[in-house]
Amino acid sequence: MQTHRWLRTPEGTAPRISYGADYNPDQWPREVWDEDVRLMKEAGVDVVSIAIFSWAKLQPAPGEWDFAWLDDVIDLLHESGIGVDLATATASPPPWLTIAHPEVLPVTADGTVLSQGGRQHWRPTSPVFRRYALELVTKLAERYADHPAIVAWHVNNELGCHNAYDYSDDAARAFRAWLAERYGTVDGLNDAWGTAFWAQRYGSFDEVLPPRVAASFPNPTQQLDFLRFSSDALTDHLVAEREILNRITPDVPVTTNFMIVGDTRHADYAKMAREIDFVSNDHYVTVDRDELAFSAAITSGVARHRPWFLMEHSTSAVNWQPVNRPKRQGELARDSLTHVAHGADAVCFFQWRQSAAGAEKYHSAMVPHAGEDSRLFRDVVALGSALRRLDAVAGSDRAQAEVAILFDWESWWGAELDSHPTELLRYRREALEWWTALTDAGVRVDVVPADADLAGYRLVVAPVLYSVPAPLREALEAFVAGGGHLVATYFSGIVDENDHVWLGGYPGALRELLGVRVEEFRPLWKDEKVALSNGAAGTIWSEPVDVTADGVEVLASYEHEELGAAVTRRTVGDGSATYVSTRLGTDGLAALVPDVLAHAGVHPELPEALRGRVELVSRTGANGRFDFYINRGDDEVRLPEGDYLLGGAALPPRGVAVARR
């Protein structure tokens, strides 16, 4: 990351947890704007993101510009004390551009050209798109460089949400250049991709293509490199916009909204985060509330535990799931405050006013179709005042935990490629199950990228750490040698950075550290379970595990004639390396995790009565240390007495209380 820079605000402004939304005044007549601003003040809104999808209005035709309406909006917001996170407006190109230049439209793996008419229909590598986009960015930056309302730049929007994978000729050209940079020579590429297999040897970079639909499984390293390249191509676009912004408005920090949520995995956000001044994330509840907390913790990890900006979430229902239910009472605030617990210093929604037209008219907003006289708007106002009670928290870091889960995009991408032992394996689900089990045990948990400094942790869990290049192996060995406790699961340590198997037996790069050796994987059928001696059951995966080192203890065995040890622990000096050779799921992990924690010397911070019912997250900074207690369930919970900034010892269902320690 560049050095962390937060919102630009006038000197002397007290730090606060900012509050607001995406604001799309261009969808509404002028008179609505005055009402918007009145209601924003009532709700305590102090920041809005504007112009995200305004390209066609700002530039109605090539060479024709209309900034007057945006001048008005920005002035109006400024007079009302509302900061502007100004978008570069490049997210969705206007029809005139794609009609004149159909060559900017993305192409899918099977050759389908995506049409205009939706949004984000542009190739990340199109030089034509880049030229038009940067012209727009330059105009905006020059026009608003000195406007005091601008607190940050919002580059594009959710880079890659719809256009991450483009297989066009532009992409092919850029992919070749990326590969030439990575490998130097075509022989380097041939070695890395293992092209001796299936007559795939390339004579020059010119022969290389993106992994378009092929007659059989495309080369796995080609696929992996295409995933890396596609993430880098989005980052490249981000950097191109950022460079203009930095040159013209060096004092204004730059961000872009990530999508750390659910199965969205097109960008390596740990890497992309290095290119912005502060991390922003968009999160929508998909699976359950633990997924929200887990995503927030990943976001904090890529932000290196500095404050980050929750750029979007929903007040209630979304429009893009098969069935879109409104949030239940209390969830609006709890979801927001969970993000704050994990380091968000700004809480924003998509969007301010619910649209009357367009594809998102059934997506909730801060001002619903029903208007201000609604439960939802009253909840929005109530959250605004709750945030004011947390201003002392603003600027603080998320406090480091003693336990970390490694979260690695490379392993996610690699582990779920095709032609593997099973297609039932899900990287993120395994990591989330560990998150839930550890949280249930009453400890705080960090989620950190694979290049994080592990020194401060007692326990590091590496779920499905499939890809382990030599430096990562060394880092994990050093962690254990230094007295750390490592847990790795099945399908870890299997390949190097080129997706080449570490030979000699699994789990490859981690075999010696774990003191076990596996000759063959034994994935399980879809509904098959294998019983373990500790009463748990494994699904998805099993292995015949041979213990190969002294000092390896078997913590649980398979109750199956062809299988032996299932969970093992090797003691290494003061440290240890535990191997879990099957998917235990949250129930099975519940049986294992307390022992793993105790062995690592990690003591639950929550009293026994609260474990499982409450999530504890802490932040720490100049104003002290703050404990966030999040009620995970539907019953009232009794918390310890304390100095509460928000809520109190009686924690209502789905409530959040914050105490100063």
* Separation of alpha carbons 131 and 137, rounded Å: 10
Nearest to ligand GLA of 376, 567 (CB atom): 376
CB of 465 to ligand GLA, least distance (A): 28
CB neighbours (10 Å) of residue 136?
A: 20
For residue 85, state whether it binds ligand GLA (rule: CB under 6 A).
no
CA distance 518 to 521: 7
C-beta neighbour count of 285 within 10 angstroms:
19
Cβ-based nearer residue to ligand GLA, 318 or 614: 318
* Closer residue to ligand GLA (CB): 119 or 500: 119
From candidates 175, 284, 413, 466, binder to ligand GLA by CB under 6 A? 284
DSSP annotation string for 591-633 = HHHHHHHHHTTPPPSS-GGGTTTEEEEEEEETTEEEEEEEE-S
My answer on whether omega of the bond before 351 falls inside 30° of 0, hence cis, is yes
CB of 119: closest distance to ligand GLA in angstroms? Answer: 8
Catalytic residue among 11, 42, 64, 158: 158
The answer to whether 508 and 532 have CB atoms below 8 angstroms apart is no
The H or E element spanning position 404 is strand 403-407
User: At its nearest, how many Å lie between ligand GLA and the CB of residue 363?
Assistant: 5
Among 266, 363, 522, 583, binds ligand GLA (CB under 6 A): 363
> Which amino acid belongs to residue 227?
L
With CB under 6 A as the contact rule, the residue among 157, 168, 235, 295 that binds ligand GLA is 157
Min CB(332)–ligand GLA separation in Å: 15
Question: Least distance from C-beta 326 to ligand GLA, angstroms?
Answer: 14
Distance CA 350, CA 212 (A): 35
Region for 18 from its dihedrals, namely left if φ exceeds 0, alpha if ψ lies in -120 to 50, beta otherwise: beta
For residues 363 and 398, which CB has a smaller minimum distance to ligand GLA in the complex? 363
Question: Residue 207 catalytic?
Answer: no
Nearest distance in Å: CB 597, ligand GLA? 36
Name the residue nearer to ligand GLA (CB basis): 68 or 199. Answer: 199
Q: Please say which residue, 87 or 510, places its beta carbon nearer to ligand GLA.
A: 87
Nearer to ligand GLA, 170 or 312 (CB): 312
Q: Which residues face 348 on adjacent strands?
A: 20
Give yes or no for a contact between 394 and 17, defined as CB atoms under 8 angstroms apart: yes
Q: For residues 522-551, which are near ligand GLA according to CB under 6 A?
A: none
Which residue in the block uniquely carries the two structure tokens 């603003």? 394
In the complex, the smallest distance separating the C-beta of residue 509 from ligand GLA, rounded to whole angstroms, is: 26
- Comparison of 163 and 492: residue with beta carbon closer to ligand GLA: 163
Does residue 518 contact residue 507 with C-beta atoms inside 8 Å?
yes
Contacts 24+ apart (CB under 8 A), 630-634: 630/293, 630/334, 630/337, 630/338, 630/341, 630/656, 631/334, 631/655, 631/656, 632/289, 632/290, 632/439
Site for ligand GLA, residues 335 to 354, rule: CB under 6 A: 350
**Minimum distance from residue 192 beta carbon to ligand GLA (Å):** 22
Q: Is 158 a catalytic site residue?
A: yes
If binding means CB under 6 A, how many residues of this protein chain bind ligand GLA? 9
Half-sphere exposure of 91 (CA within 13 A, CB side): 21
Nearer to ligand GLA by Cβ, of 185 and 321: the residue is 321
Residue among 324 and 533 whose Cβ is closer to ligand GLA? 324
Please state the closest distance from residue 508 (CB atom) to ligand GLA, in A. Answer: 22
**In whole angstroms, what is the distance from residue 396 CA to residue 306 CA?**
7
Contacts (Cβ under 8 Å, ≥6 apart) of 223? 211, 417, 418
Q: Which of 46, 85, 158, 345 binds ligand GLA (CB under 6 A)?
A: 158
Q: How far is the CB of 539 from ligand GLA (least distance, A)?
A: 26
* Exposure letters 558-579 (e unless 16+ CB within 10 A, then b): beeeebbbbbbbbbbeebbbbb
Q: Which is nearer to ligand GLA, 68 or 356 (CB)?
A: 356
CB of 350 to ligand GLA, least distance (A): 4
- φ and ψ of 170, to 5 deg: -60, -45
Near ligand GLA in 316-335, by CB under 6 A: 318
Q: Which of 241, 291, 312, 402 is catalytic?
A: 312
Residue 147, Cβ neighbours under 10 Å: how many? 15
Alpha-carbon span 519 to 521, nearest angstrom: 7
Between 350 and 490, CB nearer to ligand GLA: 350
Whole-Å CA distances, 406 to 76, 409, 457, 579: 45, 10, 11, 15
Query: Which residue has 């474990």 as its token pair?
Result: 611
- Nearest approach, Cβ of residue 324 and ligand GLA (Å): 10
* 567-572 long-range Cβ contacts below 8 angstroms, 24+ apart: 567/532, 567/534, 567/592, 568/514, 568/515, 568/516, 569/599, 570/513, 570/514, 570/515, 570/516, 572/480, 572/481, 572/513
- Residues 285-314 binding ligand GLA (CB under 6 A) are 312
For the chain, report the end-to-end CA distance as a whole number of angstroms.
30
What is the DSSP secondary structure assignment for residue 99, as one 8-state letter?
H
**E strands, 342-387, in order:** 344-349
The answer to whether 282 contacts ligand GLA (rule: CB under 6 A) is: yes
d(CA 615, CA 628): 8
Binding residues (CB under 6 A) for ligand GLA: these are: 157-158, 282, 284, 312, 318, 350, 360, 363
Which residues have a catalytic role annotated? 158, 312
